[in-house]
Structure 1
Amino acid sequence: SSPKLQSLLQETVCFSDGQTGCAEVDSMTEAVAGKGFLLVCISCKRREEVPGSAIVDWHYKAAGSDEFIHIFQYEYNNPIILHENFEGRLEWKGTMGTKDVQIGSVFIHNVTYNDTGTYLCTFHRTLYLPLNEEHVVISKEVELTVVENANPELTAVISEIMMYVLIAVLQLWMIGVLIYCYRKIYAENEARETRKTARSQSKLVELKDPRDGIYL
């Protein structure tokens, strides 16, 4: 994949790490032998205000094989490489510093032709609701092909499309946040005015003489 798109995806990861928003982006599927490659896996929570935690697992199925092997696991600042074929080559590029993981991407160093195959990313998420806990499992697959040389024209086109899609998504999200904040502030002001009116009416009732309607 192109450095431009890899940089864009990294910026998306940083954007989500700051917990200011989350945009789900599909991974690229073509890696160049001898280069590095970012396996993107993002699972955004639908309700950001609900606290949660997640464990992320990566499995790999070689081309022509029927079985997945467990190659990687991340649980709160503890990345573990679980298969010798990926020893020293996998690096966590997901959410750091919090148990509330929404980005489970990993970076493969020194890609080889043997890395061709299907990668399965699985989020085991726990949502801490007021009355109980909810457990959710989200899985995403990446079909990776390793080539000798990247297709520069196709990569450039995809990079541009991804860039504009991300910009549009982030702009819509920002508009949504502004509308939400405006409604929240408006509702708080309305509630404050209602309370002030109620207090004023209560004081008038207390000051009024019920016998002749004359205020004391």
Structure 2
Amino acid sequence: MKGVNGVFKRIREDIDTVFDQDPAARSSFEIILTYSGLHAIWAYRIAHWFYKRKMFFIARAISQIAKVLTGIEIHPAAKIGRRFFIDHGMGVVIGETCEIGNNVTVFQGVTLGGTGKEKGKRHPTLEDNVLIATGAKVLGSIIVGENSKVGAGSVVLKDVPANSTVVGIPGKVVIRDGKKVRRDLDHQDMPDPIWERIRTLETELAFVKDQLKKERERSSQP
């Protein structure tokens, strides 16, 4: 009876997480029937239960059926904490050795993958309260520290310190102030380190041109 109560408590927690993270959610009935991210998480938990008991084929079969139905692929060996939220979700891929903490949010098109055919731990670890925005790729056995955010379309290949914001290709830390980072992400307001670098180069080029012009003027004088 305790186990059954625990299952229903976890289901209620999952539904409450959707209400907390998605302002479009209107009712529990709607969430249960129409949220593919939630369906993928529930399917993962069933597959993970079989995987831990070494029933690998059943576990993989469940995960593949869930991928076809939801567009979200979660390897049954991945370790996922509580209150995990997948927003929309189409195209999300979560690899075999991923470890995901509590209160983590990922958006559609996110890949938590490997960088090759290396053995052992080869997928990312996301600590508590991490947010990964639309289309971001977090690759390799790296750690995204707690309360951190990864901007839309970024490619992260190195560890991310706690309380940081990362954007760009490759991902660069653009905010790290030691304060807790809010989990809601306004994508259009994210700074772009590549564009900032281009502007710096333009400034330096203008300075060099000005110096060359002055040098030519001095050399042309009798």
Q: TM-score, normalised by structure 1?
A: 0.32
Q: Which has the higher helix share?
A: 2
Q: TM-score, normalised by structure 2?
A: 0.31
Q: Which has the higher strand share?
A: 1
- Which of structures 1 and 2 has the bigger CA Rg? 1
Question: Looking at both structures, which has the greater relative contact order when contacts are Cα pairs under 8 Å and sequence separation is at least 6?
Answer: 1
